[in-house]
Amino acid sequence: MSATSANAATPGGGAAGDFIPAAKPVIGEEEIEAAVRVLRSGNVVQGPQVAAFEDEFAALVAGRHCVAVNSGTSALLLALAGLGIGTGDEVIVPSFTFAATANAVRLTGATPVFADIDPATFCLDPAAVSALIGPRTAAIMPVHLYGHPADMRALGGLATRHGLAVVEDAAQAHGARLDGTPVGGFGDAACFSFYPTKNMHALEGGMVATADAELARRIRLLRNQGMERRYANELVGYNLRLTDVAAAIGRVQLGRLPGWNERRRANAAKLDAGLAGVPGLGIAAAAPDVVHVYHQYTVRVAGGRRDALQAFLTEQGIGCAVYYPTPVHLLPPFVAAGADLALPETQRAAAEVLSLPVHPSLSDADVDRITAAVRSFHLEPDMRELS
């Protein structure tokens, strides 16, 4: 997945009006002006814009310490490394996620151990996690997939009982809440991504949030060659710094995030209503204690018809996508250990899910066109044969 493909224009001319993209990263005049101001200032890397971005982002994560880095993957890597996780450790992760989750574990030298998901939320199933905890388990890494919080109460309870760290992968869930607590406010550390297709972006970028000031300091050292003060290198570190251009864009986007998330939620509610009762289509309802921020609006398509619906919608000029067609444990870097795992809900989800456009740039007419197109596919020809 790349920003370019996310921006892709109409493929081959949609049959019914303008192409509706699956995602639409916003780079508005305000973002451009903020970037140009930084370039003219000459202060371009890990300077005042990065510091201000970290301060302002803290308001989204219950006032925790925030450390900005150059990607969400870097945030995950440094959260794990900062917690001392590495070779010989196991980290329990979902397989139904973007590969970055497991890549970050592997990059520390630790081993990802894949647990199945709860079919109602697409997030880690606490019972499946519990069954995998062993003497080498060091951490649990839940993913708030599609913008829906994982079951942090049950997972946090397990972590406390077994003395494990919790690292939230919140790359898709900026602003989501569970029982009034924002995601990023539960784990020992939480990681966000600012890739263009996420709910907010900084071209590229990431953030680690933690309540632990010492951990925040270790992550600051690790992102910058082991130094906080120039040439006072305290340990072996990386260069995973964020630029001030990215941070300035991120600050503009952070200001817009609440409105955009509201719009995503409104679009999702309209999709829910428009798609209710379609035979063979599964719509996941968010629990009442959850604020879902709909990074994706994802339905299940029964009867092996998912790929046919995706092809039909694409033909109709409606961008849609499968996140994720191959579970991570079956991807080449992980399959040697993963081939024999039984993760039935993960594999069922990979075969059934389809994400429809829900981004804030959709008009009400776009949403109506999406629901009408899905309805027309399911009514013809199969349903006619049944009636």
Ligand X SMILES: *Cc1c(COP(=O)(O)O)cnc(C)c1O
Applying CB under 6 A, which residues contact ligand X? 71-73, 97-98, 100-101, 143, 169, 171-172, 193, 195, 206
Cβ nearer to ligand X, comparing 195 with 334? 195
Cβ nearer to ligand X, comparing 270 with 292? 292
At closest approach, how far in Å is the CB of 73 from ligand X? 3
Cβ nearer to ligand X, comparing 66 with 171? 171
Residue 40, Cβ density class (10 Å: 0-12 exposed, 13-18 middle, ≥19 buried): exposed
Which of these is catalytic: 64, 144, 198, 292? 198
Instruction: Determine whether 198 is an active site residue.
Output: yes
- How far is it between the farthest Cα atoms of the chain? 76
Please, are residues 293 and 267 in contact by the beta-carbon 8 Å criterion? no
Q: Which of 105, 142, 137 is nearest to 123 (CA)?
A: 142
At closest approach, how far in Å is the CB of 84 from ligand X? 21
Residue 280 neighbours by CB under 8 Å, 6+ apart: 301, 302, 303, 305, 378
Cβ nearer to ligand X, comparing 166 with 281? 166
Order across the sheet with 290-291: list the strands: 181-182, 177-178, 290-291
At closest approach, how far in Å is the CB of 293 from ligand X? 13
Q: Which of 286, 298, 359, 294 is nearest to 323 (CA)?
A: 298
Q: DSSP label at 380?
A: I
Instruction: Tell me how far apart the alpha carbons of residues 103 and 37 are, in angstroms, rounded to a whole number.
Output: 35
Q: Which of 188, 241, 239, 251 is nearest to 31 (CA)?
A: 251
Residue 323, Cβ density class (10 Å: 0-12 exposed, 13-18 middle, ≥19 buried): buried
Cβ nearer to ligand X, comparing 172 with 224? 172
At closest approach, how far in Å is the CB of 101 from ligand X? 5
Please, are residues 147 and 294 in contact by the beta-carbon 8 Å criterion? yes
Please, are residues 66 and 54 in contact by the beta-carbon 8 Å criterion? yes
Nearest residue to ligand X by CB is 72
Cβ nearer to ligand X, comparing 81 with 143? 143
At closest approach, how far in Å is the CB of 72 from ligand X? 2
Q: Which of 183, 155, 162, 167 is nearest to 83 (CA)?
A: 167
Active site residues: 198
